[in-house]
Amino acid sequence: MKIAMLAPISWRTPPRHYGPWELVTSLLTEALVAKGINVTLFATQDSITAGTLAAVVPAGYSEDPAVDAKVWEFRHLAHLFDRAGEFDLIHNQADFPAHAFSHLVPTPMVTTIHGFSSDRILPMYKPYEDRVHYVAISQADRSPQLRYAATIHHGIPIVDFPFDPQGSEDLLFFGRIHPDKGAREAIDVAKATGRRLLMAGIVQDEGYYREQVEPLIDGDQIRYDGPLGGEARVRALGGAKALLHLINFDEPFGLSVAEALACGTPVIATNRGSMPELIGHGVTGFLVNNSAEAIEAIGQLDGIDRAACRRAAEQRFSVDRMADEYLALYRRILG
């Protein structure tokens, strides 16, 4: 089986810190290669893979301002589709632009929809559903207007997230600094409980950061460490009393939720989007509807078994499970 894996080009694959789509693309690619599948990764030239790298894009456009996003995205797509005949299947991880090429080649295509943002994107999905096999990353993120081939939750390399049986008394916010992710809500909850809050992630909304977040960062009770990767990421996720995921949108998945659980850290999340699929209320964390309920949940954290959080991640969110489910889908498509 020869698979062409089309990565996004906003960041390197795998990303250095932020880049959830690129991260999932890398995790799946490496897991498939480890299972003996012939995978060619179409990504930026600085990308890293145990498979075969096919690259024309110099660098991610979010990392190098000299890379014009529109120009290089189409150059990236053309590079893959010029070679489509070499592959048994194309797995598109880079949103809807690839669909425009799907009727021009006989090679079957899978598209992982990393977030169904709104019905405004339907014109680049609905007309192609007879040609492209769509995968949702959660039941909550499925559009009732589309036909799907499967729902496959993301997986993470569990061994890269060692279990921390103790954690600490500090809370953690880990995500984009953006109103959707509830950074201000996390600060307010931490202040109301008197606990320290470590914040990590890229600033995606500068105005929101300056007005709602930065004035409350004191370097003591509220600390912001910027985007974290590697060992620092793991230490932050494992060393917390709980991850606060007080989102203001319907989160399609939430990699930081799975990563925190793998470390044994329970999650307090707004009961929206995929959160009920990821979190066992009262078992691996708490689903809440507002800040008052989040504050109450913090007082109940000692009743959560951190080992149960780890077991849930091992059973439900391993990268091997994700790869096996995609392989089963590929085989079903290829007959």
Q: 171-206, pLDDT tens digit by residue?
A: 999 999 999 999 999 999 999 999 999 999 999 999
Residues in the chain: 335
3-state secondary structure of 50: coil
pLDDT of residue 228: 87
pLDDT of residue 301: 97
pLDDT score of 58 more than 90: yes
Output the pLDDT for position 249: 95
pLDDT at 222 over 90: yes
pLDDT value of residue 17: 83
Q: Order the strands of the 89-92 sheet from edge to edge.
A: 52-57, 38-44, 2-6, 89-92, 109-113, 132-136, 150-151
Q: State yes or no: pLDDT of 37 exceeds 90.
A: yes
The neighbouring-strand residues paired with 13 are none
What six digits make up the tokens of 94? 């880079």
Residue type for 11, please?
W
Neighbours of 136 (CB within 10 A): 24
Sequence-ordered list of residues with C-beta below 8 angstroms from that of 298, at least 6 positions apart, any chain? 171, 189, 193, 195, 241, 242, 268
Tell me, what's the pLDDT at 118?
A: 85
Q: What is the pTM of this model?
A: 0.92
pLDDT attached to residue 229: 81
Average pLDDT over residues 45-67: 97
* pLDDT tops 90 at residue 230: no
Tell me which DSSP letter residue 149 carries.
S
Closest by CA position to 9, among listed 78, 109, 86: 78
pLDDT confidence of residue 202: 92
Residues 6+ apart with CB under 8 A from 197: 170, 171, 172, 173, 186, 187, 190, 221, 222, 223, 244
* Residue keyed to tokens 């991610």: 60
C-alpha torsion angle, residues 240, 278, 306, 196 (rounded to 10): 20
**Percentage of the chain surpassing pLDDT 70?**
100
Position 59 scores a pLDDT of 97
Closest CA to 254 of 237, 236, 235, 273: 273
Instruction: Give buried/exposed letters for 33-43 (b at 16+ CB in 10 A, else e).
Output: beeebebbbbb
**Whole-angstrom distance, CA of residue 266 vs CA of residue 36:** 35
Average pLDDT over all residues of the chain: 96
- Which helix (H) or strand (E) segment holds residue 230: the answer is helix 230-238
Residue type, 295: I
Q: For residue 259, is pLDDT > 90?
A: yes
